[in-house]
Structure 1
Amino acid sequence: MLADLQQQNVPSSGHVELGEFVTSVAIKMYKMWTGNDSNVCPVRNEEFKKFCIEILNLTNLSPVTVFVALKYLERYMKCYAAIDFGIERLFLISLLIADRYVNDTFFSIKRWALNTELPPEEINRMQVMILNNLNYDIYINGNDYLEWINQLSEHIKAEEKLYTDPPKYLKTIMDDIENQRSLISMKIKTQVHFIKLPSGIIHRYTPEVQLPSGIVYRYSPEYK
């Protein structure tokens, strides 16, 4: 679903706006995770923003991929045995995993190594450690993604209140979120599912008609 979503969505944000947004969200999560504001000082903020802008410029990854990467970063930081590789590397590996999950064609570890000047072995090691902590659970369905971009939307609204003249990236990112929210909501409503009835027949359905059980489905004439 996410791959289809990004094909239908023309982004408003470029690599600079995405880099600024990632910095805003990831730094906030990182501070909460480490419990120490001194880990991320203003100078480090600028360094991280520069890193994000550069890597997103080199890869030209979509807002969908970037938002998914932030979701993986959030999931990882909730893991009991999560290891702190530093904010740059944590986001880098989250982005690498998101690229592989969202996109039909994705960058190889060798390409990520060339883009970051990190050894491929180091990138692969961190990738495996993060995936192990996530139990290799990187699946994100439509409802998960919708809930996540709603959270990102709330983050933007909170950030806007901090400025008399909000940074321009907040508007472009919000435009992308609104476009994606509209598309994903439409896809969820029309998404085809499969259910197994007591008879053992598997019907394809989309939510619409109420069955005696109280569950609402709309049946198509096709069978699996």
Structure 2
Amino acid sequence: MTPTATLKTLLAAAALAGLPLAASAAGDAAAPDQNLRISHHVLTIGKDGVQRESRYADLMFRRADSVWVERELPPALREDHAHEAREGKVHIGHAHADNTAAPLWVRRDAGGTVQVGMVLRQQRKLIEVDAANYGNVGYNGSWANAYWLVDPASLKRMKDLGAAGKGVQRYELQQGESTLRIDWDVAGRYARKIEQRNAHGTSLNVMTAAAIAAPKTLPWQQVGGYERGEYSDLLD
């Protein structure tokens, strides 16, 4: 699972709207640390009249040089994964088939080089993902989108909806029959809400981010002893 596996539809909407997705020139080190629960609500109504709806949540931990995102799983599913590990049923092929549930760790060094790692906890492996396979794990290649949830440079192309209130500046962009709205947390420097809807009420995609308590141990501090692998290891 990835920062953009969960956000890719909304970020694709920004791209289709003509917004720049290159990394922001703003100093990332100046942004405060964030610990967020990111909830998603996707609703579509097809031409057959059938309404399809999904809801899920991710946990995100952001520091100056790292972003970690993992799916929030119900206790029953966490136990199911743990049971498979205890029974020795977890293997690389299984992980490849279920990589959307694997945490993603995106890092950037002082020179701006980005590394993307998929974490397989049951196998105690850190799989380094090459750029050719970013799409397979949902990462769209934009550090800015992973770090800020939307590139701050994109906001310059949007209409601001009045003055900031309660720490949030709201933006809007109309593109054909689609409306994109973003609530930007001015102090926290991340997108609190990204919403895309069409004029007919048949498509809605909403991401909402809310602050949570910081973990006692950051998740990437727990993978130091993990075996390193390459994404090609999964393609057997």
TM-score normalised over the length of structure 2: 0.27
Larger radius of gyration: 1
Which has more helix, going by share of residues?
Answer: 1
Which has more strand, going by share of residues?
Answer: 2
Higher relative contact order (CA 8 A, sep 6+): 2
